[in-house]
Amino acid sequence: MPELPEVETVVRGLKKSLIGHRIKNILLRRDGLRFPFPRDFSKILQGRRLEDVSRRAKYIIIHLDNDLRWLCHLGMSGSLVIQMKAPHSYQKHDHVIMETEEGAWLIYNDARRFGMMDLVTSENWDNHPLLKNLGPEPLAAGFDATRLSGLLKGKEVSIKAALLDQRLMVGVGNIYASEALFRAGIRPTRRAGSLTKEEVKLLTLSIKEVLKEAIKAGGSSLRNYVQANGELGYFQAKWQVYGKEGQTCPGCICQGQKKGGIKRIEQSGRSSFFCPQKQK
């Protein structure tokens, strides 16, 4: 379920509960996820202190006390849940379980196993194959319309596909791409390079807005729960077009019209949702 806001929510949850903890042991219940786990994964992590947790794109980074970073991606179906008592049994897809000296358990569950974990030294950080080609963070201060405009310039792909391309910019996935384009009034099928200055400006704001609102929705549920899976605060309730084929979008001129309603189309094998009346 994770796009930038969900990953950010998980990161905040981990930070709140696990910083300062020392790893007692790590249990691996299979050889790997998308890739095999690093060699001696458990052995290397045992005894390490968790110094900090941060995010880059949709990657979770757990900073350890020995110049090592534990990199984790949730893929499509991964989740991380913290609990303060030992699990009495494991779920079918609980693949990694970490126990800390302080009495916390972190459980990584991932049915589809598209997620990944790796260990990276700070020396190798900038050259990590999964990180080195990532584009800018949309919520960073320097990310503005000028920046996005430069990224989209001359691009022949659809704006929807461009938003999903993590080499251009990171964090936006299939849901928030549809939502941001809806807010900006831009059709997902438009050529990325064809957007006007004004449209790019609107889109930049829409992306930032929708991501921030989703983080806020996730954060509000975190206060009350120890778990860090981001599910409780999921933005789902506030989706305006994603998964709403055939419905009319809120306050839209398409309401009451015979041909009104949100359309679902397929672009590069993924669903896009949009309102033909509102998005041009």
Stretch that binds DNA, among 38-46, 112-120, 140-148, 202-210 (CB under 7 A): 112-120
Closer residue to DNA in complex, CB, 73/187: 73
Active site residues: 2-3, 58, 270
Q: How far is the CB of 223 from DNA (least distance, A)?
A: 20
Tokens 């249990």 identify what position?
27
Using CB under 7 A, pick the residue from 14, 94, 160, 173 that binds DNA.
Answer: 173
Distance from C-alpha of 48 to C-alpha of 64, rounded to nearest angstrom: 6
Closer residue to DNA in complex, CB, 161/215: 161
Cα angle, residue 80 at apex, residues 21 and 138 outer, rounded to 5°? 100
Q: Is residue 94 a contact point for DNA (CB under 7 A)?
A: no
Q: Is residue 155 a contact point for DNA (CB under 7 A)?
A: yes
Q: Which of residues 226-265 bind DNA (CB under 7 A)?
A: 234, 236
Using CB under 7 A, pick the residue from 157, 205, 232, 265 that binds DNA.
Answer: 157
Q: Is residue 271 a contact point for DNA (CB under 7 A)?
A: yes
Those residues whose C-beta lies under 8 Å from the C-beta of residue 14, and which sit 6 or more positions away, are 53, 60, 62, 80, 82, 106, 228
Helix (H) or strand (E) holding 110: strand 105-110
Greatest Cα pair distance in the chain: 65
Which tokens go with 117?
């974990």
Q: Which of residues 30-89 bind DNA (CB under 7 A)?
A: 34, 57-58, 73, 75-77
